[in-house]
Homo-oligomer: A and B are copies of this chain.
Amino acid sequence: MNTIAVDAMGGDSAPVEIVKGAIKAKENGVNVVLCGDENLIKPYLGSTEIPVYHFPQVISMDEDPLKAVRSKKEASINGCMQLLKEKKVEAVFSAGSTGATLISAITILGKQRGVIRPAIASVLPTIDRSVILLDSGASLDVKPKVLYQFAVMGSKLAEALFDIDSPKIGLLNNGEEESKGRELEKSAFKLLNSSSLNFVGNVEGRDFATNKVDVFVTDGFTGNVVLKTLEGTAKLQQSLISASLKQNLFKPFLPSVKKALKPVKDQLNPDKTNASYLLGVDGLVTIGHGSSKQEAIMNGIQYTNESINKDFIGKFSDAIKEL
């Protein structure tokens, strides 16, 4: 049976919400272990039997990830990666500092053969299905060949997650024409266009609302800003809608309207639907929102567990060889 190492100290509400989320995942049949300070974890575990690996150090959100990962050998996230490296677990899930998770994974697991830079791939809901956006924050400044590799990894991930052949790949740009973009996009366009990927061309921000592509490829800076914009806009709209309904709707209608809108609210709630994978490192690492509460943690752990059997990680190295 697969086991997932969970960083008990990672996240705004760690360790309490992480431990509670792990307990819920365990109750749903997922095999988990917790890494972190056992003195802080055990009080929340109660009678649930989840193995705790004692790693007393914590890397906080505002620490420099590179320095922290190197100086805090006994940090919980380093512990998780170590377990994965030693094959004591099949995957790592953390809602802690993304930078620290990234550096820890690169340092301890290493990059996969052939991979120039890692990427974070985020799975996002659209009208009638999900799409992948990568890189959503691992590698901020990249070369065209790196974007090509992101496209290859994104394509393999989409095949596995969405069970589709030849996922449609789009290059996020400031216009559809081939001539658009910075030098980065112009060169990446040429690489993608001459590759064996199902590259459909440049796509724009508004295409998150269309079904043009399955995978949006961009650098980690743009991807991160876009991801957070999508999340922010979803919340903004929900506030506006709530306010407008309260102000303008006949009051007795409100409960049934709220109920009717719940599926949309859930669909666009990043805690429920978004999952992020760290791609390009030698092992399955998934990333949760820092703001995750126990339900989001449970979902993240379960999502990670389902991902293990999809076995996409092994396909990246061969696929990126082409170039």
Q: Which residues of A contact B (CB under 8 A)?
A: 62, 64, 126-127, 137, 140-141, 172-174, 177, 179, 181-183, 204-210, 218, 220-222, 224-237, 239-241, 243-245, 247-250, 253, 256-257, 259-261, 263-264, 267-268
A242 to B, closest residue via Cβ? B264
> Contact between B234 and A263 (Cβ–Cβ < 8 Å)?
no
Residues from chain B with Cβ under 8 Å of A241 in the complex: 241, 261, 264
Interface of A is mostly: helix
The quantity of this chain's copies bound in the complex is: 2
> Contact between A235 and B206 (Cβ–Cβ < 8 Å)?
yes
Residues from chain B with Cβ under 8 Å of A232 in the complex: 204-210
> Contact between A268 and B174 (Cβ–Cβ < 8 Å)?
no
**With the chains together, A208 CA to B229 CA distance in Å?**
7
**With the chains together, A123 CA to B320 CA distance in Å?**
42
22 A-B residue pairs with Cβ-Cβ distance under 8 Å, sorted by A, are A62-B177, A64-B179, A127-B240, A140-B182, A141-B183, A173-B225, A174-B224, A205-B224, A205-B229, A205-B232, A208-B229, A209-B239, A218-B225, A229-B230, A233-B237, A237-B237, A245-B261, A248-B260, A248-B261, A249-B256, A249-B257, A253-B256
> Which 8 pairs, one residue from A and one from B, show the smallest C-beta to C-beta distance?
A205-B228, A205-B229, A206-B232, A209-B236, A248-B260, A174-B224, A209-B232, A249-B260
> Contact between B264 and A221 (Cβ–Cβ < 8 Å)?
no
> Contact between A231 and B205 (Cβ–Cβ < 8 Å)?
yes
Residues from chain B with Cβ under 8 Å of A264 in the complex: 237, 240-241, 243-244
